[in-house]
Amino acid sequence: MSNCSSSDPNPVTSTFQYIAIQSTNANTPAGDCNIWNLKVEPVAMSLPIPVRTDSFAPHLLTNQVMSSQNSTYNKTAGIYLISTNQYVGKYYIKTSAATITSSAPTIYTISGVQAMEFVGSRLFFIINNYLTEYDVNSMTPITSFTPIHVGSANTTGYISNMTSLSGKLYFIVGGALKSLDTTIPNPSLNIINSNLPVNTSGTFMYNGLEVFDSSTFYAIKNQAAGSELIKITPSTTSVATSNININGERMSSAYDYTTEFYYLTTYNRNGDQTNILAFDLTPLNNNPIIINTNSTVPSYIFGLQLKE
C-alpha cells in the first residue's frame, strides 16, 4: 500500500523524520566539512535532536563533500552511510522509547563512490563508474556480484544518486534513467528513458532522483540558475516546477511514500544556510507539485535520509 497515490483533495500533513549531517565549518576557506553534527528529526517536525558531534583531523574530509556527498540508510538495522568521495562513514543509529543514540562513525577509505543505496539488507555502490555490491560489515566488494559498467551513449561523467523500489535500483547517468533488478540472478541494466534534457550549460547534471511508482520518477535538473524539478516517465519528461535555487551543489533528497512528500536540501554559501524544501506530490487540483514549506537551517546540511 505504500506506493498508492491519493486523490484526496485535502492536503496531507507532513510527518517527515530525517537523519542528516550538519557541518559547521563547511563555509570556512578550507571548506573541509571536518565537523560533523549528526542530527535526527523527531516526530512532528520539532527541532532536530543533536545526537553526537565528531571532529575529524584537519583536511581528512575536503571540500569535495559539497560536490560529491551521497548517503543511504537501512532502517531495519539502523545503519547510516555517507560518502564524501574519498571516504565512507558508517553510523549505527539506535532508537529507544526515550532516546536516539549513535556510536562514533567508522571511517573507511573508499574513494570514487558516486552513489550508494540499500536494497533491503543489500548494499550497492556506484564506484568509479561501476555498479557493485558491498558487504556492509566489512565494507568490501562482494565477489559473487560482477561489477556492471554504468556508462553508455549520452554519458558525460555525472551520475545521480541512486534510489530503489521493490528490489529495483534506479539512477541517472548522463541523459539516461537506468534500472537494475536486484531480485534476479545476473541482472543487466535497463534503460527506462534515454532522452533526458540537457541543462542550460548543455550538460546532463541530475540530482535528487526519487521513484514515485514503477513508471514515474522525479529528479532535479541541476543548472546554474533556475534549476527544475523534472517528472520522468518511460516516454516523456516534463517540468514539474522551476526556479529552484540550489547554488550548484549536490543536494540531498528523500521521498515519503506515506504522505507523498518529496524533500530537498539546498545550500546558500553566502548566507551559510540550508533550506529544506518540501513538495507535495499528491494530485491536488491537477497540479501535483506544491511547495509546502521552506525551512532554513544554519550551516551546511547533507546526507539527508528518512528516519522512519
- Grid cell locating 223: 543548472
* pLDDT given at position 1: 27
Give the pLDDT mean for 258-283.
85
Confidence class of residue 155 from pLDDT cuts 50, 70 and 90?
low
Confidence class of residue 284 from pLDDT cuts 50, 70 and 90?
low
Query: Does 26 fall in a domain?
Result: yes
Place of cell 524533500: 263
Residue 277 sits in a domain whose CATH number is 2.120.10.30
Query: Does 281 fall in a domain?
Result: yes
Distance (Å, whole) CA 258 – CA 12: 9
Query: Does 141 fall in a domain?
Result: yes
With 50 as the cut, is the pLDDT of residue 286 above it? yes
* pLDDT given at position 292: 57
Domain residues for the domain of 224 are 18-306
Distance (Å, whole) CA 61 – CA 105: 14
> Mean pLDDT across the chain, nearest whole number?
86
* pLDDT given at position 166: 95
Confidence class of residue 259 from pLDDT cuts 50, 70 and 90?
confident
Half-sphere exposure of 191 (CA within 13 A, CB side): 15
Find out whether 147 and 153 touch, Cβ atoms under 8 Å. Answer: no
Considering only CA atoms, which of 277, 289, 73 is closest in space to residue 164? 73
Whole-model pTM?
0.91
Give the list of residues 6+ apart from residue 201 with CB closer than 8 angstroms, or none. Answer: 223, 224
Confidence class of residue 152 from pLDDT cuts 50, 70 and 90?
low
Confidence class of residue 49 from pLDDT cuts 50, 70 and 90?
confident
Q: How many domains is the chain partitioned into structurally? A: 1
* pLDDT given at position 150: 94
Long-range contacts of 177-183, Cβ-Cβ distance < 8 Å, separation of 24 or more: 177/209, 177/217, 177/219, 177/232, 178/150, 178/152, 180/131, 180/148, 182/119, 182/122, 182/124
42 by Cβ neighbours in 10 Å (0-12 / 13-18 / 19+) ranks as: middle
Query: Does 4 fall in a domain?
Result: no
With 70 as the cut, is the pLDDT of residue 45 above it? no
Query: Does 8 fall in a domain?
Result: no
Confidence class of residue 66 from pLDDT cuts 50, 70 and 90?
confident
Query: Does 153 fall in a domain?
Result: yes
Query: Does 129 fall in a domain?
Result: yes
Instruction: Kindly report the backbone phi and psi dihedral angles of residue 119, in degrees, each rounded to the nearest multiple of 5, phi listed first.
Output: -120, 95
271 by Cβ neighbours in 10 Å (0-12 / 13-18 / 19+) ranks as: exposed
Give the list of residues 6+ apart from residue 266 with CB closer than 8 angstroms, or none. Answer: 244, 245, 246, 247, 249, 251, 274, 275, 277
With 80 as the cut, is the pLDDT of residue 146 above it? yes
Long-range contacts of 221-230, Cβ-Cβ distance < 8 Å, separation of 24 or more: 221/196, 221/197, 222/246, 222/248, 222/250, 222/251, 223/199, 224/200, 224/248, 225/200, 226/200, 227/199, 229/262, 229/264, 229/279, 229/289, 230/196, 230/197, 230/206
* pLDDT given at position 27: 85
CA geometry: angle at 260 spanning 256 and 125, to 5°?
Answer: 40
Query: Does 118 fall in a domain?
Result: yes
Q: Of 157 and 212, which is predicted with more confidence?
A: 212
* pLDDT given at position 156: 61
